[in-house]
Amino acid sequence: MFRRLILAAALALATPAFAQERSITVASTTSTEQSGLFGHILPIFTRETGIAVRVVALGTGQALDVGRRGDADVVFVHDRVAEQRFVREGHGLERQHVMFNDFVIVGPEADPAGIAGSRDTAAALKRIAESRAPFISRGDRSGTHAAELRLWQQAGVDPASGRGVWYREIGQGMGPTLNTAAAQGAYAMTDRGTWLSFRNRQGLRIVVEGDARLFNQYGVMLVNPARHAHVKREDGQRFIDWIVSPAGQAAIAGYKINGEQLFFPNAAQAEPGA
């Protein structure tokens, strides 16, 4: 009887630890975390599979670095060029589309650059530079930052020339960037998902949207287990398979704020222009 009690106590202590053993780490972006998407979809995945997910939320460039070091099992980010390079260099396996949304330019009600209502992002950024209106950049090697720099290049503007005058890089995520823009009455570029979930707007509004160049595609990859033997290949692939499956895609589509959908699943589709 005493031995049975000891065994039962040992099993009771071991069960929680055992239940937590099946888990993966996903290196992802601040937009997927701060928008609330992960808070919505990950409990669904865990209920269906028994696999817990720990998220490391960083800018895309930093998230890819986490994958390169083997400190994550899966990378889920939004800079297609950088993602393809990650796979090409052997750090990750096949890249797959997951979902998309778009970027928008937000700015103060006063709109000192006079760009409100524009659908031409390059022209709008050029006006911001010409008027020396304050612009807050993430400056953190994120997917949003990379997209912003490409758009400045298309506008024929080197924002570094305005650094310390009208252009400020803060080296932080999307939430702090929007907080800074709101406090300073400045322009900023953000993904729509984070914008919709952002509450501290203080007079900021969307001033530029609808340009095809603002398309924002997200992709997912398994970190290469041939490079890092400790990568949880089976459970990491289970997460990828789920998020591109009808169940995972439905979970993404079901995440809304005030009735507005933040991300649009497109695992079965090719990116426009691909």
Residues 72, 118, single domain; the answer is no
pLDDT score recorded for residue 17: 44
Handedness of CA 54, 60, 66, 72 (dihedral sign): positive
* Same-domain check for residues 143 and 179: yes
Same domain, 203 and 188: yes
Q: What is the pLDDT of residue 195?
A: 93
Residue where a domain stops, chosen among 171, 197, 214: 214
Residue 170 falls inside a structural domain: yes
One domain, residues 150 and 249: no
- Give the residue-averaged pLDDT of 225-236: 97
> Is 124 found in the same domain as 81?
no
Number of structural domains found in the chain = 2
Q: What is the mean pLDDT of the chain?
A: 91
* Residue 81 within a domain: yes
Same domain, residue pair 143 and 242: no
**Residue 209 exposed, middle or buried by CB count within 10 Å (0-12, 13-18, 19+):** middle
In a domain, 19, yes or no: no
- The whole-model pTM stands at 0.84
Q: Point out the domain boundary residue: 194, 214, 234.
A: 214
Measured CA distances, 265 to 147, 231, 253 (Å)? 20, 26, 6
Question: Residue 253 in contact with residue 193, Cβ under 8 Å?
Answer: no
- pLDDT for position 270: 56
pLDDT digits over 53-105, tens only? 999 999 999 999 999 999 999 999 999 999 999 999 999 999 999 999 999 99
Q: Do 205 and 135 belong together in one domain?
A: yes
Whether residue 2 has pLDDT greater than 90: no
Same domain, 203 and 228: no
- Check residues 202 and 17 and name the one with the higher pLDDT: 202
Residue 134 sits in the same domain as residue 110:
yes
Q: What is the CATH number of the domain that holds 244?
A: 3.40.190.10
Q: Is there a single domain that holds both residue 178 and residue 209?
A: yes
d(C-alpha 264, C-alpha 104), whole Å? 16
Q: For 115-168, how does the pLDDT look when each residue is reduced to its tens digit (9 = 90+)?
A: 999 999 999 999 999 999 999 999 998 899 999 999 999 999 999 999 989 999
Shared domain for 135 and 204, answered yes or no, is yes
Residue 56 and residue 159 share a domain = no
Owning domain of residue 38: 24-100+215-265
pLDDT band at 6; cut points 50, 70, 90: very low
**pLDDT by residue (tens digit) across 17-63?**
444 569 999 999 988 988 999 999 999 999 999 999 999 999 999 99
